Amino acid sequence: MHRRDDCGQAAARQGAGVTHMTDAERVLGQIERGECRVGPDAAREIAARHEAAYGAAWPADHAWAEALTALPQDGTS
């Protein structure tokens, strides 16, 4: 079993082009392909799943919950 670096070096030795990309390019590509979601709607869904599984993060802090629900629904801030 080759490590990831070994595979890239082997491909370079065979004359295949190895394309290096920044983390930002990789993440933006994942977002474009729908592999991960971003934005307020995705954050709300994650928070709802977390709360359903583990309970409220700040059960006594109603101001925090009100602030979260006051976030714009259209993705603007």
> According to the model, what pLDDT value does residue 61 have?
61
> According to the model, what pLDDT value does residue 9 have?
54
Look up the domain containing 25 and give its range: 21-69
Amino acid at 6: D
> According to the model, what pLDDT value does residue 47 have?
87
Angle at 52 between CA 34 and CA 43, to 5 degrees: 35
List Cα–Cα distances, 76 to 27, 28, 52, in angstroms. 21, 19, 26
Residue 33 lies in a domain: yes
Residue 56 lies in a domain: yes
> According to the model, what pLDDT value does residue 2 have?
44
Residue 62 lies in a domain: yes
> According to the model, what pLDDT value does residue 70 have?
75
> According to the model, what pLDDT value does residue 17 have?
77
- Burial of 53 by CB count in 10 Å (0-12 exposed, 13-18 middle, 19+ buried)? exposed
Average pLDDT of adjacent 10-residue blocks, the chain of 77 residues: 50 68 94 92 90 78 70 66
How many domains does the chain divide into?
Answer: 1
